[in-house]
Amino acid sequence: MSKTFVKLVSDITKRTDSRIVLALDPPFNPYSLKNPEERQRERLNTAARVKKLLTELDGLVSGVKIGLPLVFGLGLDLVEDIINTHRKSYFFICDPKMADIGYINGLEAAQLYEIGFDALIIHAAIGIKGGIDEVVSLAEEMDKGVLGLCAMSHPGASEHLNKHYNELLEIAAKAGVDGFVVPATYPHLITSTKNAYPSSIIFSPGVGTQGASFGSALAAGADYEIIGRSIAQAPSPAARAKEILKEIKETGIDIQKIALALAKHNCVMVGEFKLTSGLMSPYYIDLRATPSHQDLFDLITSAYVAELKSLGLSFDRIAGVATAGVPIGALVAYKLNKPFLYIRREERTHGTKSLIEGVINPGESVLIVDDAITTGGSLLKAIEAIRERGGKVEYAMVLVDREQGGAQNLAKRGVKLISLMTASRLMQELYLKGFISKEDYEKVIKYIKESKNVQKL
């Protein structure tokens, strides 16, 4: 593990706030020119174009991945010059997809690290002993990073390579790599990798040109999306990168901002807590105070609104579940121009004895909003109350799914859960941003995994 590489990645990302790594593979072949001077001119022109591109993309992209076509075409001296020119703006990954015996890998790696690459990509399939080990120990000596490739994005990857994903992942992790390259076109692999190795960095290629949508790999748990042609070959790469960043945000990257704001306002805590359901938990999410923090309240309610708009669901009313679901639901309803009602925690002791405050007409569809879901107990109570009054409930929405059977329990009663983030994802963000320690993060993830099947109510 290279602390320097991990820190570099995190420092640059803090500055850019971008989860994009540019794959730099410009179509160019200087060897088609037979005259040595012309060939060299072509190289220098390409190097100048690359530098111009990297100047344009400064602040929009955090890392640059350079593959073999450019390394072959330019030669290492020009690649070194590019890295030196842009060293302050990006982290640089070389992608030779190494797959030789350790001795040869070491010879290659030494040159690539020497010219300034911060990390390189190696096939996990070659195994540790006499394979990956030589590169990992060289990387440790030179204070550099190593990324393990355990699956690929193209369709043929499922014929053989991706079938062995779990074994390969274990090999790469055991070898001590800093992160993994996991294809966006097989998103379940991203999620299982993040769950198995929460503190590793995941880079996902395959978005854009290869078909996966921008933001989809991040939503599945990746830390970075590797994007090549969609940006580099666009008529205006910077404008395209900005559009992609916007798309990524719309597919949920606001999660990062929400997670930070939650941490800043002490709405997420680690320790020992007793939940409403009676279960013990090593972390606690308390969103009751969110309306007191305008920035956070606006971020959260805007995220509910954006998700509802993108799903295009139709419903007549929004009902908030007391306590935290009431202010959140009320503002979401207001922003969407829908009537609002709410469900009390306890029945009124006088008057109507109803759990429901507000208007609902039989046959109307109601979207139920709460802050978080554990087993789904409070939401099911609210759903029943609405149904008793003749309302239809097909969807319930929360900010955080604590992944303890809530979605399944709701599904059993015919209600689909929409959650903006899982607790694992929230914790991942807090860990990556340094709000919680590695020990606490791993403890929480272990707890989430172990309590996944808790479905009792």
Residue 146 or 436: which CB sits closer to ligand BMP? 146
Nearest to 447 by CA among 164, 156, 198: 198
Nearest to 327 by CA among 293, 361, 350, 352: 293
The residue assigned the tokens 């006499």 is 130
Q: Which of 137, 192, 209, 354 binds ligand BMP (CB under 6 A)?
A: 209
Q: Which of 206, 221, 376, 405 binds ligand BMP (CB under 6 A)?
A: 206
Residue 62 or 230: which CB sits closer to ligand BMP? 230
Count of CA atoms in the C-beta half-sphere (13 A) of 309: 14
Count of residues in contact with ligand BMP, rule CB under 6 A: 18
Asked if 226 interacts with ligand BMP (CB under 6 A), we say yes
Residue 244 or 407: which CB sits closer to ligand BMP? 244
Q: Which stretch binds ligand BMP (CB under 6 A): 208-216, 385-393, 397-405, 429-437?
A: 208-216
Paired strand residues for 317: 366
Q: Which of 96, 131, 148, 205 binds ligand BMP (CB under 6 A)?
A: 205
Count of CA atoms in the C-beta half-sphere (13 A) of 126: 22
Residue 224 or 431: which CB sits closer to ligand BMP? 224
Is 207:2 a contact under the CB 8 Å cutoff? Answer: no
Q: Which run of H or of E encompasses 220?
A: helix 216-220
Is 342:318 a contact under the CB 8 Å cutoff? Answer: no
Q: Which stretch binds ligand BMP (CB under 6 A): 49-57, 163-171, 228-236, 281-289?
A: 228-236
Using CB under 6 A as the binding rule, the residues of this chain from 143 to 162 that contact ligand BMP are: 152-153
Q: How far is the CB of 31 from ligand BMP (least distance, A)?
A: 20
Is 221:193 a contact under the CB 8 Å cutoff? Answer: yes
Strands 340-343 and 317-321: parallel
Residue 229 or 344: which CB sits closer to ligand BMP? 229
Residue 227 or 382: which CB sits closer to ligand BMP? 227
Nearest to 326 by CA among 348, 349, 297, 347: 297
Q: Which of 95, 134, 370, 401 binds ligand BMP (CB under 6 A)?
A: 95
Rounded CA separation 424/221 (Å): 9
Q: Which of 145, 198, 208, 327 binds ligand BMP (CB under 6 A)?
A: 208
Is 419:251 a contact under the CB 8 Å cutoff? Answer: no
Asked if 63 interacts with ligand BMP (CB under 6 A), we say no
Using CB under 6 A as the binding rule, the residues of this chain from 169 to 188 that contact ligand BMP are: 181, 183
The site string for ligand BMP over 121-140 (x = CB under 6 A, - otherwise) reads --------------------
Q: Which run of H or of E encompasses 447?
A: helix 438-450
* C-alpha distance from residue 375 to each of 192, 313, 345, 372, 410 (Å): 22, 24, 16, 10, 9
Residue 400, Ramachandran bin (φ over 0: left; ψ between -120 and 50: alpha; else beta):
beta
Asked if 96 interacts with ligand BMP (CB under 6 A), we say no
Residue 72 or 103: which CB sits closer to ligand BMP? 72
Asked if 67 interacts with ligand BMP (CB under 6 A), we say yes
Residue 179 or 228: which CB sits closer to ligand BMP? 228
Nearest to 21 by CA among 251, 232, 254, 247: 232
Residue 125 or 328: which CB sits closer to ligand BMP? 125
DSSP 158-227: GTTGGGGHHHHHHHHHHHT-SEEE--TTSHHHHHHHHHHSTTSEEEEE-BSTTSBPTTHHHHHT-SEEEE
Using CB under 6 A as the binding rule, the residues of this chain from 2 to 41 that contact ligand BMP are: 23, 25
Q: Which stretch binds ligand BMP (CB under 6 A): 110-118, 225-233, 255-263, 434-442?
A: 225-233
Residue 27 or 390: which CB sits closer to ligand BMP? 27
Q: Which stretch binds ligand BMP (CB under 6 A): 48-56, 200-208, 243-251, 375-383?
A: 200-208
Is 93:147 a contact under the CB 8 Å cutoff? Answer: yes
Rounded CA separation 277/269 (Å): 18
Asked if 320 interacts with ligand BMP (CB under 6 A), we say no
Burial (0-12, 13-18, 19+ Cβ within 10 Å), 343? buried
Q: Which residues are near ligand BMP by CB under 6 A?
A: 23, 25, 67, 95, 152-153, 181, 183, 205-206, 208-210, 226-230
